[in-house]
Amino acid sequence: MEREKRTLRLAAPRGFCAGVDRAIQIVERTLEKYGAPVYVRHEIVHNRFVVESLEQKGAVFVDELADIPKGYPVIFSAHGVAKSVPAEAENRQMFYIDATCPLVSKVHREAERHERDNHEIILIGHRGHPEVIGTMGQLAEGEITLIETAEEARNFRQKQPGKNLAYLTQTTLSVDETRDIVDILRERFPGIEAPKKEDICYATTNRQAAVKILADRCDGLLVIGAPNSSNSMRLVEVAEKAGCPNVALVQRASDIPWDCLKSAKTVGITAGASAPETLVEEVVAAFSERYDVTVEEIVTNEEQVVFKMPKILASEAAE
């Protein structure tokens, strides 16, 4: 019996960004250099497959520094941490390596600069996200005001009217939604200072742009990523707003909603910045088991960004 045909369109770029790739390499190289176990505070990146793979190599993921026995290396996640975290590690005489994405560190430095310049600071981001907690924790409590929605931007009131305002953003936000919030702030406060270089990272921007194009060429779309991954959830939202029917977030091939995709002849596939390519291959293989599949890659951008390893691991990276 002849199998039904399906066309799979893969977004490019998709999957790992340079910051995620660097963070994973930091854990792997720390294990190589110091041996297991190596402790990691929080998930190194928001992907269970990645976390479980590193656990099998000897990484141990913990919630707090107090959960780590003395004498073992500790790594801070790619999302960044409040200043209180390395301070606590030093008080506990811990050896730590910071895997914060350099583009997140850039936002941290911007916050410090604005404080030095006596600016009142707004951070556009999602409450409770580790990156937001880390960025707000660069300064004393209350120094940064978090704005999550356009409504909050409309209702924002300065703590010190007349003081110069500046805004920062989380690196993994929806480009379009953030633009709407920024437009409101600029209309209300024409002198507000923007980041010198866009805070939303290149990988987030590129993956959202690719999904917009893919959504227009597919009648179903899968985003491979974790529900606690901000950039993956934004890809789902972007695809839905672009008008693509049958959009779903899946962590693995076992999560594919086959019933919802029954009528979809052309299915788009992308992956969040913390999802490895092996999960994309797994999803393609699952389709190939059910259908006669044609795979096309829709390339919208070429990424060649690479971040340096921390100095203490640089020699291993060179080898």
Q: Which residues are catalytic?
A: 131
The H or E element containing residue 271 is: strand 266-271
CA atoms in the 13 A half-sphere facing the CB of 19: 27
Residue 179 makes CB contacts below 8 A (sequence gap 6+) with none
Which 8-state DSSP code applies to residue 70? T
The candidate with the shortest Cα–Cα distance to 224, out of 55, 19, 14, is: 14
Three-state SS string over 7-52 comes to: EEEEEECCCCCHHHHHHHHHHHHHHHHHCCCEEEECCCCCCHHHHH
DSSP result, 155-197: H---SSTTS-EEEEE-TTS-HHHHHHHHHHHHHH-TTPBPPSS
DSSP SS3 for 219: coil
The candidate with the shortest Cα–Cα distance to 70, out of 37, 100, 44, is: 37
User: What is the token pair recorded at 243?
Assistant: 């008008």
Alpha-helical (H) ranges within the chain are 18-34, 48-57, 84-91, 102-116, 130-136, 150-155, 175-188, 202-215, 230-241, 277-290, 311-318
How many CB atoms sit inside 10 A of residue 143's CB?
14
Cis peptide leading into 245, omega within 30 of 0?
no
316: left (phi over 0), alpha (psi -120 to 50) or beta: alpha
